[in-house]
Amino acid sequence: MSEPIKIDIWSDIACPWCYIGKRKFEAGSGLFSGAGDGRAVEVEYHSFELSPDTPVDFDGSEVDFLAGHKGIPAEQVHQMLDRVTGIASSVGLDYDFDALQHTNTVKAHELLHFAKAQGKQLELAERLFQAYFIEGGHVGRVESLADLAESVGLDRAEALAAMESEEYLDSVREDQRTAAEYGINGVPFFVIDGKYGVSGAQDAATFAQVLEQVWSERAAEPAATAEASA
């Protein structure tokens, strides 16, 4: 049986397309895995901050942030958010931009690295996205993040200590350096089997097609190696 195909995903908890892309990738990898013969994927999340200068406690709405800090007219922002909300709904996500609390996400990224060390990264990533985009939760304050960590079975005190000590900040920065080396300037970005890059929240069929291509190439490699040594 072949090893699972490794998927490295650069994303930010504050990125609406990243949660949508997560759902589309899950659907695509499900189509791929459903074909059988041991097809499987292994996912790891990596840190990317869209707005690292954002304060932890931003005084205003998502519309205020995009209009005031990004220079986008408020009417255009509303149209953008309505469009994103509709696309999110099409993949089963009920975004609530009115309740959303815009914040700095570096501590959330540190917590994701802590969760990875505990074997709970995927569960925490889902929980953070859900809290931010659907529940109006705060994912910038360490106390709130510790509560979310506990909700997926992580030790709250250990999670809090890891964030307060910045134990995983170097890991966050290493992810960001790697993203720069890859030329990643937007998320979500998927690196498949270490050699194929897929940018954006592509359709499930696109993800399934790329995974199947990688699987087929893997299957052809032993034959090519055998021919070369003959």
Are the CB atoms for 172 and 110 separated by under 8 Å?
Answer: yes
Walk me through the domains of the chain, giving residue ranges and CATH numbers.
5-229 (3.40.30.10)
Mapped onto helix, strand or coil, the DSSP state of residue 43 is strand
Confidence (pLDDT) at 223: 52
Amino acid at 31: L
Are the CB atoms for 163 and 110 separated by under 8 Å?
Answer: yes
Confidence (pLDDT) at 69: 80
Low-confidence stretches of the chain (pLDDT < 50) are 225-230
Report d(CA 107, CA 146) in Å as an integer. 10
> Rounded to whole angstroms, what are the CA distances from 182 to 48, 84, 169, 178?
12, 27, 20, 6
Q: Which residues partner with 44 through β-bridges? A: 8
Q: CA nearest 46: which of 183, 175, 169? A: 175
Confidence (pLDDT) at 70: 81
Report d(CA 158, CA 142) in Å as an integer. 12
Q: What are phi and psi of 17, to 5 degrees?
A: -75, -25
Confidence (pLDDT) at 228: 46
Confidence (pLDDT) at 222: 64
Report d(CA 123, CA 98) in Å as an integer. 25
Are the CB atoms for 81 and 122 separated by under 8 Å?
Answer: no
